[in-house]
Amino acid sequence: MPTVVLRCLLWLLFLAGFLLLPGVVLAANLEYRIEGLDKTQRNNVRAWLGEAPNSVAERSAFVTTVRDRVEKGLQALGYYDPDIDFTLDKSVEPWQLTITATAGEPVHLDDYDLQLLGDAAADPAFTDYLAKAPLQPGDQLNHDSYEAMKKALLDMAQRRGYFDARLTRKRVEVEVAANSARLILHFDSGPRYRFGRLLHDGQYLTDEQLAALQTFNRGDPFELARLQEFQSQLQRTGYFSGVLVRPQIDAVEGLEIPLALDLSSAKRHSFEVGVGYSTDTRERVSLVWRTPHVNRWGHSQETRLEYSKINPSGRVTYNIPLTHPLDDVLQLRARLEQNEYGDIDSHQTEFGVRRELRRDNWIYGISLRQLNERWDVASLSQDDDYLLPGISLAHKYRVGPLVNPSRGLSQFYQLEGGSDQAGSDIDLVRAYSKLVYVHALAGTPHRLVGRLEAGVVFVSDSQRDQLAPSLSFFAGGSQSLRGYSYQSVGEEVKVTRNDGTTNTLTVGGDRLLVGSLEYQYRFLPDWRAAVFVDAGDAFNAEDFSPNYGVGAGVHYLTPVGAVKLEVANSVSEDDPSWRVHINIGAEF
């Protein structure tokens, strides 16, 4: 056989095999269009007709059944007396089919036989749903809504513990001549089952801790949402790598359903190593060591070491659950830190104890910390001790994604005090608050972010020089006045050197008031631009002199927060330099 012929045969065999492969679609040999219907009617008819045919056999079946499918598409919306006409042009390829239809008058529900039987008849969840169900007496018949009602009732029954529920009657009777219909739907829920005993081995949690985390009691009506909340509570403790609560429906005891608790312990120890950069603290490396479950009483610890040239630190937090593993925790803390406040180098050693309680999304803190701080300014050194009891209050409300909320408000308030008669070198009262507000205009790419910080320290004039830098207030940096360098804004003093020259040093103030307003525009799904104005000061009483800064930036949105590149400039200084800030994270 000649080589050319052999090649042609091989290509034909290859082409035939390719065309027979699954998923290979031939060109349609009929095209159709629908006229005379509104958008909703047209879309439903098109859904019933499906894709245009691709073979002669499919085309023949399509043309034969087209009227029936158009009728069903309109009947599903309640139109039982349509006027349908067709025009088929076979003189061209592909064939052209024009469907012209008038829906006619819709059918309405003139008779509505809906019965709720069993324990669900006294369940407000069912009665509330039926009062707002998508089909009501007098409504236009819609079969999709009817099917949705049936599914909603059965789904709700499963979620609320009616495991014997069934539809005993389900029917729609249509009187075409009268444009009326009768809906018959009888739902028998049967009895409602209840939460039974909890089956667990007691290996990871004490009975008291488990009872505190439970969102239901034995004998309470079964509700899937409460079961899922319990599972979420267990997961949030951090003690477990896997949590599963399984209703044992096949082992029902009376009407009580036993619950099998399957827990997989989290890793005994976990380590995280990070490398990062921020304009304020420059390059930094970090190591975090966590032990999420030290013992069967639910103790945990976190040790965090961070190094940067400006702000090296180390801290240990040991957590002891009290009355609730999540909502009532005693924290033992230790911290070593160096920091630069204006022109002051600070070295801090701190030990503390704090009780943290959560109630209705508010976090209440009661604390006592012992702080030793040594600081150097110019050629002078200071070393003081403080014993500071305090209280704090925090709350976060957000709508939308955790790291990119569309709306939210974060609040933090703190009050501390010390006395030279009770472990402190000076008498002081310190108050601080911070608020962040986010609001995105619904359905638009526009977003507003507002920030406000305020603080005050009450200390006598004779002891003012003994107030540590970490207890004073400074402003400036990527989280404050962005047109100024990190913690560079504060009360200033003039110092005379040994050679007789003077130097102005920033030493912080006993007051703080800083605000910011930022407008953001989302121009791509993961990108937004921002412009902002910052204003405020860290100052001593009656010396308030606000500093102003403006800037702009671009934010790239990631699953862990926005990566922000911002430039800012002071408008309060003569010939200021531009500041560039790089940060990652959410507003709160």
Q: How do 407-418 and 380-399 pair as beta strands?
A: antiparallel
Residue 37's domain comprises 27-102
Look at residue 147 and tell me if it is in a domain: yes
Does 574 lie in the same domain as 447? yes
The answer to whether residue 26 scores a pLDDT higher than 80 is no
> How many domains are there within the chain?
4
For the chain, give the mean pLDDT.
89
**CATH number of the domain within which 53 lies:** 3.10.20.310
Does 345 lie in the same domain as 464? yes
Query: How much is the average pLDDT of 346-363?
Result: 96
Q: Is the pTM of this model over 0.85?
A: no
Tell me what pLDDT residue 496 has.
63
Does 171 lie in the same domain as 214? no
Look at residue 289 and tell me if it is in a domain: no
Tell me what pLDDT residue 3 has.
54
Tell me what pLDDT residue 501 has.
66
For the chain, the distance separating the N- and C-terminal CA atoms, rounded to the nearest angstrom, is 79
Look at residue 512 and tell me if it is in a domain: yes
Cα–Cα distance for residue pair 512/240, rounded to 1 Å: 43
Look at residue 4 and tell me if it is in a domain: no
55: confidence class by pLDDT, cuts 50, 70, 90: confident
Describe the crossing of helices 143-159 and 124-131 by its angle, rounded to 10 degrees: 170
Q: Which of 32-36, 350-354, 427-431 has the lowest mean pLDDT?
A: 32-36
Does 438 lie in the same domain as 513? yes
23: confidence class by pLDDT, cuts 50, 70, 90: very low
Cα–Cα distance for residue pair 234/299, rounded to 1 Å: 15
Determine what percent of the chain is predicted with pLDDT higher than 70.
94
Give the closest residue to 351 by CA, choosing from 316, 301, 313.
Answer: 316
Six token digits for residue 184: 């018959």
215 in Cβ contact with 236 (< 8 Å): no
Asked if omega into 94 is within 30° of 0 (cis), the reply is yes
Look at residue 409 and tell me if it is in a domain: yes
Residue with tokens 């040093």: 505
Look at residue 434 and tell me if it is in a domain: yes
Does 163 lie in the same domain as 96? no
The answer to whether residue 25 scores a pLDDT higher than 60 is no
Give the closest residue to 560 by CA, choosing from 316, 267, 276.
Answer: 276
Does 571 lie in the same domain as 476? yes
Would you list the DSSP string of 82-110? -EEEEEEE-SSSSEEEEEEEE--SPPEEE
Beta bridge partners of 164: none
10: confidence class by pLDDT, cuts 50, 70, 90: very low
Query: How much is the average pLDDT of 225-242?
Result: 92
Look at residue 483 and tell me if it is in a domain: yes
15: confidence class by pLDDT, cuts 50, 70, 90: very low
Q: Where is the domain boundary, 41, 70, 102? A: 102
Give the closest residue to 25 by CA, choosing from 52, 57, 54, 61.
Answer: 54
Does 369 lie in the same domain as 494? yes
Q: How do 83-89 and 95-102 pair as beta strands?
A: antiparallel
Six token digits for residue 289: 């060591």
456 in Cβ contact with 511 (< 8 Å): yes
Give pLDDT tens digits for 274-329. 887 766 777 889 999 999 989 888 899 999 999 988 889 999 999 999 999 999 99
Tell me what pLDDT residue 11 has.
47
Cα–Cα distance for residue pair 457/302, rounded to 1 Å: 31
Which residue did the predictor score with more confidence, 23 or 133? 133
Q: Which of 49-53, 129-133, 148-152, 497-501 has the lowest mean pLDDT?
A: 497-501
Q: Where is the domain boundary, 72, 102, 132? A: 102
Does 474 lie in the same domain as 388? yes
Tell me what pLDDT residue 281 has.
73
492 in Cβ contact with 362 (< 8 Å): no
Look at residue 272 and tell me if it is in a domain: no
Give the closest residue to 115 by CA, choosing from 127, 106, 125.
Answer: 127
Amino acid at 225: A
Give pLDDT tens digits for 439-484. 999 889 999 999 999 999 999 988 988 999 999 999 999 889 999 9
SS3 5: helix
Give pLDDT tens digits for 482-535. 999 888 899 888 766 666 667 778 888 999 999 999 999 999 999 999 999 999
Tell me what pLDDT residue 22 has.
36
- Cβ neighbours, 10 Å, residue 315: 15
**CATH number of the domain within which 567 lies:** 2.40.160.50
- Cβ neighbours, 10 Å, residue 469: 24
Q: Where is the domain boundary, 169, 188, 207? A: 188
Does 147 lie in the same domain as 84? no
Give pLDDT tens digits for 146-171. 999 999 999 999 999 999 999 999 99
Cα–Cα distance for residue pair 206/237, rounded to 1 Å: 14
52: confidence class by pLDDT, cuts 50, 70, 90: confident
Beta bridge partners of 183: 112, 172
Does 215 lie in the same domain as 134? no
Does 399 lie in the same domain as 500? yes
In 3-state terms the chain splits into helix, strand, coil percentages (rounded to 5) of 20, 50, 30
Give pLDDT tens digits for 538-570. 999 888 999 999 999 999 999 888 999 999 999
Does 449 lie in the same domain as 365? yes
